[in-house]
Structure 1
Amino acid sequence: MKFFFTTIFLLIIHLGHAQVLLKKQVTLMGCIFEITIVDQDTATVRKHIDLVIAEVTRIENLISEWRPETQISQVNRYAGIKPVQVDREVFDLTKRAIAYSKNSNGAFDISIVALDKIWRFDGTMIELPSEEAIRKSVEKVGYEHIILDSTNCSIYLSIPGMKIGFGSIGKGYAADMGRALMQSKSVQAGIVNASGDLSTWGHQPDGTPWLIGIKNPFKAYKTIKILQMEESAVATSGSYEKYAEIGNKRYAHIINPKTGYPSTGLTSVSIYGPSAEFANALSTSIMVMGQKEGLKLVKRFPLYHYVLITDKGKILKSH
């Protein structure tokens, strides 16, 4: 659900100090990861970039619902049949995802991947699906049907045909884990950027914070806000690249898991704070909940801040 190079960009300044800054782009988890590392010499930086790539690959091999050999794919295959034992890491990530669902009153839901694909966001849709089709599309969606057994470390999906997937928080989780791995190895600074969902730590080589710009999707040349980030994270959800316009109303590709209808009212939601995973969950939730309820949600978490852009181009910032 998240893919916004056009919204978040990096302003990286290297003033020739003793430290080395290198960046590498690689395709992982179905998107472009850009890994930036600052350390004492080129060989060390390259080694650490490879370690981040290996860590993200490891996570992808655990939680991808597209790869048939992963634990999540096995959970999905046995939906309605039996629980599947998983690694504690997968169990804990699923447990946090359910907590995000409860926080948002179901606006966030990792079982949304079981949604019937009745909406098209390629410009070919000229009328709304029938109410019956929309209602039926969410019959196998519902986080309440994800049954966790902590003792056996197992996950059971109680509805046959139900599925879970981590497209909404997986990239943020991987960015956080890449950062944590580098910090555990005393790497001075860097950014793990999963197509705009990113985690940072440390400083640029000149000692200044990382500068992360949030752009206005209605005015590509205009920067709404530049974040000065040290140990922090940011994630964005938006409808400006994939949406349907029917009857002069914009319908985002982000679907409300409870109703089956696309979200409306907000074009872009950027959340920044300590964790990219949690920022992911909040941005997705707020897109679905809309401005009023979404702001109530984010204000419950004072370590997180927001930049919201409505479908009419109005900008709301936390500070």
Structure 2
Amino acid sequence: MTASDVTLHHFRFQALGSPCQLHLYGEPARVRSLADACERWVRAFERTYSRFCSDSLLSQLNAAAGTDWLCDAQTAALIHYGDTLWHQSDGLFDLTAGALARCWDFRSGRLPDPDRLAAAKALCGWEKVRWESPALRLPEGAALDFGGIGKEYAVDAVANQCREAGVMHGLVDFGGDIAVIGPHPNGAPWKIGIRHPRAPQKPILHLSLGEGAIATSGDYERFMEVDGRRYCHILNPKTGYPPNYWASMTVIAGSCLIAGSLATVGMLREAGAGPWLDETGLPWLGIRTDLSQRGPLADQSSR
């Protein structure tokens, strides 16, 4: 291993609604070229699946609700995972919650119109979707939303690109959703801060991770407060409203996709999250709105 291979390089850009960071060890020109290629891939992924872009593939797919749509391999993989998670979460994770997202404007400081929200909730329900991969048929008016799995999928994809390019030591961090490419060259794990849900610029604790992935879902990224209650962007498809039990949920898993989606389901399961997450056998940390901690990682300053 040469001296340049043990030099850590940092690359930053904004995408997927989050600050994105690549921390890569390697020869400067090689990792710079790799980071540029990863950024281009992420931006293309965002253009493909953004619900805010009228010409994105996702917007076109949603506009075609009521008709059959043949999915490409990547879209089919995302939908297949969402379908699996819907079954495993008792319907709490639902890709059709996109109809609800249209009702909520967290910059307005106002709750959605109840009649509009009820109409949107009636459009939700993965059981109403016809999915025979690669063929998809959404009910008229329904809308898919890959929130909860899209960014996490991208983290894993970028980490894999880096490994395939020969990077053995590094870390991918998209807004706190993290995949470890490999530990530091000396074998030391990465020290990862878990955000304080009421002071997100500082960590509430640190965990050490030499492999795998970690992701956090919380009520502090996009939210508003109305009459003293916090409403966050995570929406329960069965009620149309955000959960109000956990301030944040963190899960460690072999992939960021699994970690992030289980963290989101944990938020949605509210008081029932603990037993459900314990069944997965994965380490997790739940922080209540009163900042008390639950789970195997609770009150640990290192790992």
TM over 0.5, shorter chain: yes
Q: CA deviation at 1:121?
A: 3.6
* Structure-2 separation of matches of 1:61 and 1:117: 19
* Structure-1 separation of matches of 2:102 and 2:54: 21
CA offset digits 1:94-143 (Å, max 9, x no partner): 01111111111121112111116555544734xx6676554333121112
Q: CA deviation at 1:251?
A: 3.4
Q: CA deviation at 1:232?
A: 1.4
1:142: which partner in 2? 125
* Structure-2 separation of matches of 1:69 and 1:130: 28
1:229: which partner in 2? 209
Higher relative contact order (CA closer than 8 Å, sequence separation 6+): 1
Aligned length: 295
- 8 Å contact from structure 1 (residues 36, 49) kept in 2: no
Of 268, 289, 300, 1:311 maps to 289
Of 92, 107, 127, 2:77 maps to 92
* Structure-1 separation of matches of 2:232 and 2:17: 20
2:136 is aligned with 1:155:
yes
Q: Partner amino acid for 1:98? A: D
User: Counterpart of 2:25 in 1: which secondary structure?
Assistant: strand
* Structure-2 separation of matches of 1:68 and 1:242: 22
CA RMSD of superposed structures (Å): 2.4
- 8 Å contact from structure 1 (residues 203, 210) kept in 2: yes
1:36: which partner in 2? 23
* Structure-2 separation of matches of 1:31 and 1:223: 18
2:46: which partner in 1? 60
1:75: which partner in 2? 61
CA offset digits 1:194-228 (Å, max 9, x no partner): 11111112122443111111132246686443222
2:286 is aligned with 1:300:
no
- 8 Å contact from structure 1 (residues 121, 242) kept in 2: yes
- 8 Å contact from structure 2 (residues 167, 181) kept in 1: no
* Structure-2 separation of matches of 1:318 and 1:118: 36
2:81 is aligned with 1:103:
no
1:7: which partner in 2? none
1:51: which partner in 2? 37
User: Counterpart of 2:183 in 1: which secondary structure?
Assistant: coil
* Structure-2 separation of matches of 1:119 and 1:73: 18
TM-score under structure 1 normalisation?
A: 0.83
* Structure-2 separation of matches of 1:21 and 1:31: 22
TM-score under structure 2 normalisation?
A: 0.87
Q: Partner amino acid for 2:159? A: R
- 8 Å contact from structure 2 (residues 97, 124) kept in 1: yes
Q: CA deviation at 1:35?
A: 1.3
Q: CA deviation at 1:265?
A: 1.2
User: Counterpart of 2:23 in 1: which secondary structure?
Assistant: strand
* Structure-2 separation of matches of 1:89 and 1:117: 24
User: Counterpart of 1:235 in 2: which secondary structure?
Assistant: strand
Q: Partner amino acid for 1:262? A: P
* Structure-2 separation of matches of 1:199 and 1:53: 16
1:267: which partner in 2? 247
2:261: which partner in 1? 281
